[in-house]
Structure 1
Amino acid sequence: MPSGRRTKLFFDGGCRPNPGAIECAVVLKGVTYYQPDYGHGTNSDAEWLAAIQALEVARQNGERDIVLLGDSTLVVTQANGTARCRTAALEAHRARFAELAHGFDSIRIRHIGRAQNLAGIALARRHPR
């Protein structure tokens, strides 16, 4: 039974260059889960893979009532069904996300600013300028 308190997971993905090698990060309760090599793709692929990784991290940690927080408008709107996926690759990511979402008591996905995204901050620390 849900406790009424959602667990927040921050997610972010990127690639250098774009397209290029994908990396993702998820932050749950102050712990960063970093995936340094998710293959090759675009920034959109990276953001979707980070959202998918957030669901996997939540499941592995026994979380049932979650809110995913990310700075990708594309992923948030497509996951919420307010924007359509314009490529087969994005639709495949959305379908995988929906498949993994089953079994949770509650999932919300919300857009936040880049400066508030703890996962984005964690990725940026790996690439000092």
Structure 2
Amino acid sequence: MTARRTKIFFDGGCRPNPGPIEVAVVAGGAAMIGRSLGEGGSIDAEWLALIAALRFARERGIDDFVLLGDSASVVAQALGRVPARGAAAAHLAAFRDLAGTGPAPRVRHIGRAQNLAGIALAKLHPR
């Protein structure tokens, strides 16, 4: 039996925007929430969530994984499809440093409704 690729969901947000950043990473039924990660905008929050998701995989020794997030711009920047400018360039550099010299991590865009990390963050702020 072959092992299945681990799906690692990530999402970041701030309330208000810009404001205090929080991130969520969800994989294998476990959720990791990071709050009070500094001040910034929604793109900063999404980048910090992507970096947290990669760190999650590395710390647990997960080799076969895909990082799934609903920020089309962050996913496109991480994949090198569009340039990262300003603060995003610094986040991209941190992501690449963490990724190391091996194969580039798989990063995919998913819809907001399918993002388990986004659902976890939304539960922190019931309406």
Q: TM-score range by the shorter chain?
A: over 0.9
Write the distance in 2 (CA, Å) between the matches of 1:104 and 1:4: 20
Q: How far 1:5 moved relative to its partner?
A: 3.4
Residues 13-55 of structure 1, C-alpha deviation per residue, up to 9 Å, x if partnerless? 0000110000000001010000011110000000000000001
1:1-129 map, 5 Å: 5-87=4-86, 89-102=87-100, 107-129=105-127
Task: Give secondary structure in 1 for the equivalent of 2:46.
Answer: helix
Q: How far 1:4 moved relative to its partner?
A: 6.5
Deviates more, 1:96-105 or 1:47-56: 96-105
Q: How far 1:97 moved relative to its partner?
A: 0.4
Residues 69-127 of structure 1, C-alpha deviation per residue, up to 9 Å, x if partnerless? 0000111000000011132x110000100111126666210000000000000000010
Q: Give the letter aligned to residue 71 of structure 1.
A: D
Write the distance in 2 (CA, Å) between the matches of 1:43 and 1:94: 15
Task: Give secondary structure in 2 for the equivalent of 1:25.
Answer: strand
Q: Which runs of 5+ in 1 are unaligned?
A: none
Q: Give the letter aligned to residue 122 of structure 1.
A: A
Q: Over aligned residue pairs, what C-alpha RMSD do you find?
A: 1.5
TM-score (normalizing by structure 2): 0.93
Poorly superposed stretches of 4+, deviation over 6 Å: none
Q: Give the letter aligned to residue 38 of structure 1.
A: L
TM-score (normalizing by structure 1): 0.92
Q: Which runs of 5+ in 2 are unaligned?
A: none
Identity of aligned residues (%): 59
